[in-house]
Amino acid sequence: MGQGAAFMGRTPPAWYDEAKFGIFIHWGLFSIPAFAPRVGKISDIFKTDYRRAVALSPYTEWYENAIKSPDTPSAAFHRQTYGGAPYDDFRAPFLAGLRQWDPDAWAEAIAGSGARYVVLVTKHHDGFCLWPSKVANPHRQGWTTERDIVGELAAAVRRAGLRFGVYYSGGVDWSFNPEPLRTLMDFVGSVPGGGYPAYADAQARELIERYEPSVLWNDISWPGTQRELFSLFDHYYAAVPEGVVNDRWKTPTLTAKLLRFKPARQVLDRQIEKKAARSGGADGVVPPPVPHCDFRTPEYVRFDSVQDRKWEATRGMSHSFGFNRNDAEADYESAEHLLGELIDCVSKGGNLLLNIGPRGEDAQVPEPQLRRLRAMGAWLRANGEAIYGAQPWRQADGVAADGSAVRFTRRGGDLCVIPLSSPEGAAIEIEGVDFAGPARRLADGAPVEVQRTGQGVRLVYRAPLDGAFAPAVVVQGAG
């Protein structure tokens, strides 16, 4: 198999599988304008306005690209608010906002959420680096922070008892390829060539050597060859034996190289646009398979069954990862919805990487996001036994008699039953399952009687339910 044979088929380390819940952080120059149009999910815009979908993205972190197309809401906002100033002008206010940044406060809030690891965006598509990289950008002088944001947050996160990982945008860098991107094929075909593969490789190695990240999370694709990529993986696993890499490392194929030319993009765009119009398109983003990864990363969508390979669903609390000044309370998913996504992921063998998007002008996490972190933490402190270290049971899904969803996880020989609802009363009936054993509610340890009904199982609570969300029950010996 050649280079990389030592890690092919590698089993992810136990810490990553047991952690279940991580926090993503999208924060950078784009957090100063903090603007994207309210167009719903990113998959929605590809269905309704394919020809400029990338420029209309709900992701604020794509702002620099969005303002290059004059017919977008972002470009109109930029003209009105900043007079069409160059994107580089956001560097000064972002650096000024760092004076109010307290990495230990961030780490404390994240630890309080019950998350077990953190992944920080160190360089997004705009190419701006949140560490004082020694690898010089040949197109934008000083396109880094002087303050070592990555190092300071890594230290704070580790002091809080959490693992630290890094995100790097390997497949897209607008400082190397500034062409305006409007369609999906524009985006796919925008991977820079020339000196960029060596630049990205050098920066990735610098991140590994300086910060020894427990997670190496690349985005979009990788610009180098498969041989060069496997050399990078060898270097990473030697430096961080318990590290993990995600699945967004697809190296350039002949088709991808052809997409650097506009005529080839136009042909494929027409085909994709017609297909989307007929089928309605798919929700979310699921990266294509690659020769090696430790986990898959569906985005704004979850797998609907237990997977053969470890996976991690990732999403923002709203439709954007970066902070969006347009988001009102109604644009954020409720804490119950986000908890439901975490529980669903775990029941099917996955993790949830939930994003926070701090503001740029003062380096603070917005209160709507903090409230959701606190709610996640409160539930996990009471019910974490059903989540941390849990594995899928013989079935992930169930349905209560009232039609509400139920999820199952397993801890050793014990079964964990988690209603995805806020039930009241003294009993819950679950249809189409069969299990038995002594049981207790995790939140208060109160006994729960398990009655087999012939059509399913009835859980009878010694202490009546009070409408709290997802009251988990553990049934001894039923796992």
Q: Does residue 251 have a pLDDT over 60? A: yes
CA-closest candidate to residue 298, choices 282, 283, 286: 286
Nearest-angstrom CA–CA distance, 370 and 155: 21
Q: Give the mean pLDDT of the chain.
A: 95
Asked if 296 and 284 count as a contact pair (C-beta separation under 8 A), the reply is no
pLDDT tens track for 179-194: 999 999 999 999 999 9
Provide the pLDDT confidence category of residue 129 given band limits of 50, 70 and 90. Answer: very high
Q: Does residue 235 have a pLDDT over 90? A: yes
CA-closest candidate to residue 21, choices 313, 357, 452: 313
pLDDT tens track for 358-415: 999 999 999 999 999 999 999 999 999 999 999 999 999 999 999 999 999 999 999 9
What's the pLDDT at 282?
59
Provide the pLDDT confidence category of residue 1 given band limits of 50, 70 and 90. Answer: very low
In this prediction the pTM is: 0.96
Q: Which of 35-44, 52-61, 70-79, 212-221 has the lowest mean pLDDT?
A: 35-44
Provide the pLDDT confidence category of residue 256 given band limits of 50, 70 and 90. Answer: confident
What's the pLDDT at 386?
98
Average pLDDT over residues 440-456: 95
Give, in order, the Cα–Cα distances in Å from 43 to each of 131, 289, 344: 32, 20, 21
Provide the pLDDT confidence category of residue 279 given band limits of 50, 70 and 90. Answer: low
Structure tokens at 39: 């167009």
Nearest-angstrom CA–CA distance, 108 and 159: 9
What's the pLDDT at 2?
42
What's the pLDDT at 163?
98
Those residues whose C-beta lies under 8 Å from the C-beta of residue 247, and which sit 6 or more positions away, are 287, 289, 290, 293, 295, 296, 297
pLDDT tens track for 414-442: 999 999 999 999 999 999 999 999 999 99
Give start and end residues of each alpha helix (H) in 212-325.
Answer: 226-239, 254-258, 262-279
Share of the chain above pLDDT 70, in %: 97
Higher pLDDT, 148 or 43: 148
Amino acid at 391: Q
Question: Angle at CA 371, nearest 5°, toward 341 and 34?
Answer: 90
What's the pLDDT at 43?
84
Nearest-angstrom CA–CA distance, 204 and 93: 27
Q: Which of 43-52, 58-67, 423-432, 465-474 has the lowest mean pLDDT?
A: 43-52
What's the pLDDT at 40?
87
Asked if 415 and 393 count as a contact pair (C-beta separation under 8 A), the reply is yes
Q: Which of 36-40, 213-217, 247-251, 343-347 has the lowest mean pLDDT?
A: 36-40
What's the pLDDT at 23?
99
Provide the pLDDT confidence category of residue 278 given band limits of 50, 70 and 90. Answer: low
Share of the chain above pLDDT 90, in %: 88
Q: Does residue 44 have a pLDDT over 90? A: no
Strand partners, 123: 129, 168
